[in-house]
């Protein structure tokens, strides 16, 4: 179980997290983890950012989450996800 902050509560079975979900989905779709990018900002994203080929922390991420990511973008309010997606699309990064 992990919390996202009031008033939210996330509950999952032991050993289940965002990384295990991505691993299962990617396995079914034949996608290698090196081809996966993920964005996160909180403790519930730690395993996911470590599993993917390219982990991006949001500018508003907890310091320990930002420290694990491959890069840090701007905050949610500053369209950080869009900036990374646009940059990668312009560079031809696609499956």
Query: Could you give the C-alpha distances from 39 to 12, 13, 46, 49, 81, in angstroms and in order?
Result: 20, 22, 10, 7, 7
The pLDDT of residue 42 is: 92
**DSSP element (H, E) containing 38:** strand 37-40
Query: Number of H helices and number of E strands within the chain?
Result: 4, 5
The pLDDT of residue 5 is: 62
How are beta strands 8-10 and 2-5 bridged, if at all? antiparallel
**pTM for the predicted model, two decimal places:** 0.85
- At residue 1, does pLDDT exceed 60? no
pLDDT one-digit tens code per residue, 12-57: 788 889 999 999 999 999 999 999 999 999 999 999 999 999 999 9
Helix, strand, coil in percent for the chain, rounding step 5: 45, 20, 40
């Amino acid at each position: 179980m992990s919390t996202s902050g009031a008033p939210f509560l996330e509950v999952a079975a032991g050993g289940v997290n965002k990384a295990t979900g991505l691993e299962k989905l990617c396995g079914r779709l034949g996608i290698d983890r090196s081809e996966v990018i993920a964005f996160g900002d909180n403790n519930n994203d730690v395993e996911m950012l470590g599993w993917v080929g390219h982990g991006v922390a949001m500018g508003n991420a907890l310091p320990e989450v930002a420290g694990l990511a491959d890069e840090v973008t701007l905050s949610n309010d500053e369209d950080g996800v869009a900036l990374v997606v646009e940059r990668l699309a312009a560079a031809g990064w696609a499956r």
